[in-house]
Amino acid sequence: MFDVVATVSENRHFGGYGHLTVTTDRIFESGSGQFAMLKPRGAFDPLLRRAMAIYRHVSDGKSTSVEFIYQVFGRGTENLRRLNPGDSVECLLPLGKPFDISPVAVGGREALLVAGGVGSAALFLLAQQLRREGVPTRLFLGGRSTVDLIGLDDFVALGIPVHIATNDGTRGFAGFVTQPLEKFLADNADDVKEGKYVAFTCGPTPMMKAVAHICEKANVLAYASLEERMACGFGVCVGCVAGVRCDDGETDFQRVCVEGPVFRCDQLVWIE
């Protein structure tokens, strides 16, 4: 983890989203599921940085560029949207614990990625990693409309099967992404029973909760990458906690930025 001032090399806008690429001389690795805390250099309004999943990471030995996809819905993300190539961004990264792919990276298993909206940005590095490790992977991608299917082309380019759902029916299944997931699990009930699948989800809380519920019923091991409001991103404010069930049955509050952002769904206590 370090704090670096990076330079914007690109900031594209589409729909209510932005796709930001920043470059730095620092050479480092980003693990799948890790994130950054960002703000334009010198900005004091709003005061705090914004937590953003690392979408893509490219290092060429001389410099590193990191990409983020964000939804514009407040002043912090609006400030990110206004960044132009050449502008400076304060980046604290890489933060949080990466995905643990060991349960799925054993022969014969398959990873099911389930993403809603901008949540897919937290799963692209994972999809890349799974492909690299030769783990069969498929994606269930949902959004309100076609424009909300974040990263679709990049996932398709990885060569993994993608099941699409949009609420308005403009693309793929008309409805929630959890429906194609349920259907898939029902169609492959024998494989499900044999423990072939491990699920990884990121998206709006109600969606992740539903995915957790479906996986629990089907006895499928599932991980969720949580998004809590964060002040610091590196463990000192204790503001970003999630309820986690401990072995003694008690609920503990763990920091999403340090102990997470990825948690096992069967250990999460969903609070809303």
Partner 1 sequence: MTTSSNPLAIDIAGLEFKNPVIPASGTFGYGLEFLPFFDISKLGGFCTKGLSPRPLKGNPPPRIAETAAGMLNAIGLQNVGVRAFVEEKLPKLREYDLHVIANVFGYSIDDFLEVVAVLEDAEGVAGYELNISCPNVKQGGTQFGNNPAMAAEVTESVKKATKKPVIVKLSPNAPSIVEVARAVEGAGADAVSLVNTFVGMSIDVYTRKPRIAFATGGLSGPAIRPIAVRMVYEVSQAVKIPRIGIGGIATWMDALEFIIAGASGVQIGTANYADPCVSLKVIEGLETYCRERHVTIAELVGTLRV
State the number of binding residues for ligand FMN (CB under 6 A): 2
Rounded Cα gap, residues 254 and 263, in angstroms: 10
Residue 175 C-beta: closest distance to ligand FMN, Å: 40
Residue from 239, 243, 267, 270 in contact with ligand FMN (CB under 6 A): 239
Residue 207 C-beta: closest distance to partner 1, Å: 18
CB 236 within 8 A of CB 10: no
Give the three-state DSSP class for 129. helix
CB 68 within 8 A of CB 89: no
Q: Is 95 in the site for partner 1 (CB under 8 A)?
A: no
Rounded Cα gap, residues 172 and 164, in angstroms: 5
Rounded Cα gap, residues 38 and 50, in angstroms: 5
Residues 205-244 within binding reach of partner 1 (CB under 8 A) = 228-243
Rounded Cα gap, residues 149 and 46, in angstroms: 29
Residues 31-70 within binding reach of ligand FMN (CB under 6 A) = none
Residue 228 C-beta: closest distance to ligand FES, Å: 7
Return the residue nearest ligand FMN (CB atom). 237
Rounded Cα gap, residues 117 and 62, in angstroms: 33
Q: Is 27 in the site for partner 1 (CB under 8 A)?
A: no
CA-derived radius of gyration, the chain: 18
Closest to ligand FES by CB, 8 or 51: 51
* Footprint of ligand FMN (CB under 6 A): 237, 239
* Footprint of partner 1 (CB under 8 A): 1-3, 39, 44-49, 76, 90, 92, 228-243, 251-253, 271
